[in-house]
Amino acid sequence: LGRLFGGADRTDICQGALGDCWLLAAIASLTLHKETLARVVPNDQGFDRSYAGIFHFQFWQHNRWLDVVVDDRLPAVRNRLVLLHSASNNEFWSALLEKAYAKLNGSYESLKGGSTLEAMEDFTGGVGETYETKSAPTDLFNIMKKAYDRGSMMGCSIDVRAQTASGLVKGHAYSITGLEEVNYRGKKVKLIRIRNPWGQVEWNGAWSDESREWNVIDSSEKKRIFQNSMDDGEFWMEFEDFKANYDKIEICNLTPDSLTDDTKRKWEVNMFEGNWIRGSTAGGCRNFIDTFWTNPQFKLTLLHADDNNDKCSVVIALMQKNRRALRKEGLDLQTIGFALYEAPADEDHLGKDFFRYNGSKARSKTYINVREISERFTLPPGNYLLVPTTFQPHDEADFIIRIFSEKAAGTMYDIYMLFISYDTDRSGKMSSYELRIALKAAGMHLNTKLLQLLGLRFADENYDIDFDDYLTCIVRLENMFRVFQALDKSKTGQVNMNILQV
């Protein structure tokens, strides 16, 4: 009798006839995180008396979790599964998960070829980062170890498909399942554990299953890092050999915290949705200045500097929607990127001349045909304009943008909604007498003297304040608070300034 679960682990993932090693590498990583696995594969189901021939799975899609239900029929030949299966051929959660993910994306056929990071994000709702091993930071091992310790999911791959003499397969996705340091002949050696989703074909160089290096390692040390010599597709290798043989590392972080420092932050997220439509909003990249300005434009206000900095940490992630499901219509991933500009507060949609004469303050490193591109920036507080684009004009797609900031990043919509809650007659203005409570609602508590000065500065002759002036007031106050806090190093609430600082 088959089982749904028998203690889900990496040996339950063996690739079948489908070219979806990228997905299987992500599933293998998923088994390392039991809470996340239980979210994707709810463990309150099985072949008991309540069994009804169906199973349900949950996937993150475009900032929400979807429940996908499948029946219990699986492709088989001569009573053996032909696609994803467990090593025992008697446990079915992984095969049913593959089927549910195929349903989510339209078909099994749609799963051929992909990025491990794509599936990792769909299992977690996390934020992806990619490193090229040949141009990675010098502390790459520490970055990856920190990611592993924080519960991030990781995969790696080698360009161009072919099996090398060392047992590694080019053009193939692998899971990263561990990083450790061991004592070897008086020195520390950095090791990385990798799993081939085929369930076989392993590295045969230094630190492989039967290599002589293990002969001088204490048995307790081998037990600590779970070293074994089984032909299960999983193996250790020295980190320097890993960098020499693998080309790309994909990391899916469950939070946007940087892997290059130890700071733990509370992240806020804002989301935009949009589309590029031929003849309307598909303007292409900045190379096409005559149409670039027609791309969707999103205003973003970074109000608060980080707690330990005078700038704002922000992660921007641009994701194409539903492209895998659209393959059956002959559509594939577009080549995408984005640029961020310092924005004037009084413009709704900026025209060609603005982009002709103003450079971007930040942008994606490259344009690339992946589902999601993400970048990390530190920027001064202020108003910004985000322009997501395809590389070529007239290329169509739907997209979402996730913006993570350490302190709440106010979208223009958020600030506008706050403003109109005090614009009771919908005149586009609010009374200066309500400025105190409107600023308090924005998180600013001011004394009467300062409120009087703000009223004199921003109110018109009828004691009204329009939205542009309200926004300018908020941004300038934020900058004032930021400068004051930087000068008030002893946190006394008082600062001494010379005439030049004033």
Q: How far apart are CA 82 and CA 85, in angstroms?
A: 8
Residues paired with 373 in a beta bridge: 318
Could you tell me if 385 and 341 are in contact, meaning their C-beta atoms sit under 8 angstroms apart? yes
Q: Are residues 286 and 323 in the same domain?
A: yes
pLDDT at 348 over 80: no
Clarify whether residues 382 and 283 are in a common domain. yes
- What local confidence, expressed as pLDDT, does residue 474 receive? 80
- What single-letter DSSP state applies at residue 303? -
Q: Is the pLDDT of residue 361 over 90?
A: yes
CATH of the domain at 376: 2.60.120.380
CA 112/CA 102 separation, integer angstroms: 10
Same domain, 405 and 344: yes
In the residue annotation, 285 being an active-site residue is answered as: no
* 160 pLDDT higher than 50: yes
Tell me, yes or no, whether 406 and 427 share the same domain.
Answer: no
Find the catalytic residue in 21, 252, 285, 473: 21
Query: For residue 155, what pLDDT is reported?
Result: 92
The CATH number covering residue 451 comes to 1.10.238.10
> 88 and 40, same structural domain?
yes
Identify the domain boundary among 228, 253, 278: 253
Count structural domains, the chain: 4
SS (H, E, C) 250-269: EEEECCCCCCCCCCCCCCEE
Catalytic-residue membership of 85: no
Greater model confidence, 501 or 354: 354
pLDDT digits (tens, 9 = 90+) for 164-186: 667 787 778 899 989 999 888 88
Tokens read off for 360: 């971007």
83 and 133 in a common domain: no
| Residue 299 and residue 172 in one domain | no
* Average pLDDT score over the chain: 84
Kindly name the residue from 172, 252, 253, 473 that is annotated as catalytic: 172
202/235 Cα distance (integer angstroms)? 6
**C-alpha 109 chain-centroid distance:** 26
Residues 69 and 35 in one domain: yes
Spatial separation of the C-alpha atoms in residues 306 and 199, rounded to whole Å: 45
CA distance linking residue 371 with residue 117, whole number of Å: 9
**Closest alpha carbon to 388 in 498, 286, 239, 496:** 286
- Residues 6 or more apart in contact with residue 468 via CB below 8 angstroms: 345, 346
Q: Are 322 and 328 in contact (CB under 8 A)?
A: no
Burial class (CB in 10 A: 0-12, 13-18, 19+), 121: buried
Residue of 105, 156, 196, 383 marked active site: 196
Residue 263 counted as domain residue: no
Domain presence at residue 261 = no
Q: List the structure tokens of 362.
A: 């930040």
The answer on 301 and 399 residing in a single domain is yes
389 contacts 337 by C-beta, under 8 angstroms = yes
209-218, 220-229, 362-371, 378-387: which range is least confident on average?
A: 220-229
Mean pLDDT of 341-346: 82
399 and 295: one domain? yes
Q: What is the pLDDT of residues 48-105, one digit of tens each?
A: 777 788 899 999 998 889 999 999 899 888 888 888 888 776 778 888 999 999 999 9
Q: What tens digit of pLDDT does each residue of 121-153 get? A: 999 998 888 888 988 888 899 889 988 888 889
Alpha carbon 186 to chain centroid distance?
A: 40
Q: Where does a domain end: 373, 388, 411?
A: 411
**CATH number for the domain including 240?**
3.90.70.10
Strands (E), 327-396: 336-342, 362-363, 372-379, 382-390
In a domain, 324, yes or no: yes
Cα gap 219→464, rounded to integer Å = 78
Examine the domain organization and report whether 143 and 215 are in the same domain. yes
Both 168 and 242 in one domain: the answer is yes
Beta strand pairing call for 362-363 and 372-379 = unpaired
Residue 196 annotated among the catalytic residues of the structure: yes
pTM above 0.75, yes or no: no
Residue 232, in any domain of the structure: yes
> Domain boundary at 411, 442, 460, which?
411
Query: Domain for residue 496, yes or no?
Result: no
More confident residue, 113 or 396: 396
**157 domain-assigned:** yes
What domain range is 183 assigned to?
A: 128-253
pLDDT, tens only, 183-212: 888 899 999 999 888 777 788 889 988 888
d(CA 331, CA 347): 35
